[in-house]
């Protein structure tokens, strides 16, 4: 697929890429100049593993209102993209053969990170409103050996775009507290809400230490900066993750932290987020409407309230095979099989709407619909 997408006439709904034309290039250049003038050599020097104090304080302040509690900067660990956060948590928690609990389907990058430590998976049923609490309880009640943690994406999930219903969030936290099961709450798309009420994170319902939270600047500034963060309330766990990071890269890039912090502290940052949300909302609408207009009646698809992805199903059709037809039609996507830990469901596909223009989205969906009809 990657080889095919290098060709300019191919329309890709496959990557999870932000729109590059929206990157704040001039603002980042200005922030870089201010950083070099203000702190100079310190921005180019080694730094502490946990992250520069300014960055940790910014994260703590921004999340405190969302968590409905005061987050101390000491709880924050800056990481080299949230993918590194997943890897470090896998390194700390997972021994070969350990069970972890996932939504079904779940984020492919998390599965890849945990596979590296030879994890096994217990999957929880989901519907259009996210993870089902009663299914989670059944899974935990039968689990042997007992899992190390629950991993989930509550807002605009990757790959499905679904959002975990408000009433289920506290239910899931209480179930995990009853079983003494840690939760890893991965929240990369929280700023990309197009409509609907802002929902409290699972972290806001948890007793101190029960939930580890991941956030990132990749979706709201630029993934190339590789600035993301973990909020780890439990000190013992946090110390172990810090030691794991020291062995991996010593610390995240100093200058990128300073530049990110400088830009995120300006009014332009909030305006930039509003622009991203406006653009992605329009692109979601174009993709949804094009599917409704062109796709065969058998195709099922959703209309996410935010994020970067739309989920579609073609009952009875293996979308891995469909992708081969689509490459001839010059359009690609990620087959759904990759997002199921057991690789046992093959009729889904993840469609990214953030990276293509409205015109290319409409053309791409026409091509996709033609391929589905042919398949």
Q: Which pLDDT tens digit goes with each residue over 325-337?
A: 999 999 999 999 9
Q: Are 75 and 60 in contact (CB under 8 A)?
A: yes
Beta carbons within 8 Å of 138's beta carbon, 6+ residues apart:
none
Write the CB contacts of 204 (distance below 8 Å, at least 6 apart in sequence).
Answer: 66, 67, 68, 69
What's the mean pLDDT in 68-82?
Answer: 96
* pLDDT above 70 for 207: yes
SS3 category, 332? strand
Report the share of the chain in percent with pLDDT over 90: 95
CA angle 232, 118, 337 (to 5 degrees): 95
Encoded tokens for 216: 């990132």
State the residue for tokens 């922030």. Answer: 31
Q: Report whether pLDDT(65) > 90.
A: no
Q: Is the dihedral of CA 106, 109, 112, 116 positive or negative?
A: negative
**Overall average pLDDT of the 196-214 stretch:** 93
pLDDT digits (tens, 9 = 90+) for 132-151: 999 999 999 999 999 999 99
Residue pair 363/11 in contact (Cβ under 8 Å)? The answer is yes
Q: Round to whole Å and give the CA distance between 11 and 198.
A: 32
Please give the pLDDT value at position 208: 73
Structure token digits, residue 129: 């409103």
Confidence of residue 1 (pLDDT cuts 50, 70, 90): low
Kindly state the DSSP code that residue 193 receives in the 8-state scheme.
B
Distance CA 288, CA 296 (A): 13
Between residues 37 and 65, which one has the greater pLDDT? 37
Sorting pLDDT into bands at 50, 70 and 90, what band is 131?
very high
Q: What pLDDT is attached to residue 290?
A: 98
What is the predicted pLDDT for the residue at 68? 86
218-236 per-position pLDDT tens digit:
999 999 999 999 999 999 9
Task: Copy the structure tokens of residue 327.
Answer: 């490459």
Contact at 8 Å (CB) between 361 and 353?
yes
Question: Within the chain, where are the H helices?
Answer: 2-5, 25-38, 53-67, 82-93, 108-115, 133-142, 166-179, 235-249, 254-264, 267-294, 319-329, 358-374
The structure's pTM equals: 0.96
Structure tokens, 329: 């039609």
Tokens 């104090």 belong to which residue? Answer: 53
Q: Taking phi first (over 0 means left), then psi (-120 to 50 degrees means alpha), and beta for anything else, what does residue 37 get? A: alpha
Q: How many residues does the chain have?
A: 375
Q: Is the dihedral of CA 245, 247, 253, 258 positive or negative?
A: positive
What are the structural domains, with CATH classification, of the chain?
Answer: 2-24+269-374 (3.90.1150.10), 25-266 (3.40.640.10)
pLDDT at 173 over 80: yes
Q: Give the residues across from 300 on adjacent strands.
A: 313
- % helix, strand, coil for the chain, step of 5: 50, 15, 35
40 pLDDT tier (thresholds 50, 70, 90): very high
Token code pair at residue 131 = 């993870």
CB neighbours of 145 closer than 8 A, spacing ≥ 6? 98, 99
Using a pLDDT cut of 70, give the percent of the chain over it.
99
**Do 156 and 305 form a contact (C-beta atoms < 8 A)?**
yes
Lowest model confidence (mean pLDDT) among 96-105, 203-212, 352-361, 364-373: 203-212
Q: What's the DSSP call for residue 177?
A: H
Please, are residues 269 and 260 in contact by the beta-carbon 8 Å criterion?
no
Q: pLDDT tens, 245-287?
A: 999 999 999 999 999 999 999 999 999 999 999 999 999 999 9
Under the banding of pLDDT at 50, 70 and 90, the label for residue 2 is: low
Using the predicted structure, report yes or no on whether residue 289 has a pLDDT greater than 80. yes
Q: Would you say residue 209 has pLDDT above 70?
A: yes
**Torsions phi, psi for 272 (to 5 deg):** -60, -45
């Amino acid at each position: 697929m990657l080889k095919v997408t290098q060709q300019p006439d191919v329309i890709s709904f496959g990557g999870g890429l932000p729109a590059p034309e929206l990157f704040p290039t001039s603002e980042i250049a200005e922030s870089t100049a201010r950083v070099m003038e203000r702190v100079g050599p310190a921005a180019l020097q080694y730094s502490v593993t946990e992250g520069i104090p300014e960055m940790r304080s910014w994260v703590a302040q921004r999340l405190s209102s969302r968590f409905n509690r005061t987050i101390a900067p000491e709880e924050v660990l800056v990481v080299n993209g949230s993918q590194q956060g997943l890897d470090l948590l896998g390194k700390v928690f997972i021994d070969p053969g350990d069970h972890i609990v996932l939504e079904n389907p779940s984020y492919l990058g998390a599965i890849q990170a945990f596979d590296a430590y030879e994890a096994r998976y217990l999957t929880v049923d989901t519907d259009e409103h996210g993870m089902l609490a009663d299914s989670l309880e059944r899974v935990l009640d039968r689990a042997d050996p007992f899992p190390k943690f629950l991993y989930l994406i509550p807002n605009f999930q990757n790959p499905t775009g679904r959002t975990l219903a408000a009433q289920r969030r506290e239910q899931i936290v209480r179930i995990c507290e009853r079983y003494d099961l840690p939760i890893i709450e991965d929240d990369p798309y929280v700023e990309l809400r197009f409509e609907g009420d802002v929902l409290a994170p699972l972290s806001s319902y948890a007793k101190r230490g029960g939930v580890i939270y991941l956030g990132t600047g990749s979706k709201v500034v630029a993934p190339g900066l590789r600035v993301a963060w973990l909020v780890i309330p439990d000190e013992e766990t946090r110390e172990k993750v810090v030691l794991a990071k020291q062995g991996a890269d010593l610390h995240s890039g100093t200058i990128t932290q300073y530049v990110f912090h400088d830009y995120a502290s300006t009014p332009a940052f909030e305006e930039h987020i509003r622009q991203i949300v406006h653009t992605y909302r329009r692109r979601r609408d174009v993709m949804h409407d094009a599917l409704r207009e062109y796709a065969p009646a058998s195709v099922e698809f959703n209309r996410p309230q935010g994020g970067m992805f739309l989920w579609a199903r073609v009952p009875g059709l293996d979308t891995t095979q469909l992708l081969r037809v689509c490459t001839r039609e010059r359009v690609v996507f990620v087959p759904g099989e990759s997002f199921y830990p057991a690789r046992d469901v093959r009729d889904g596909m993840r469609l990214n709407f953030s990276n293509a223009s409205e015109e290319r989205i409409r053309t791409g969906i026409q091509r996709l619909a033609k391929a589905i009809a042919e398949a």
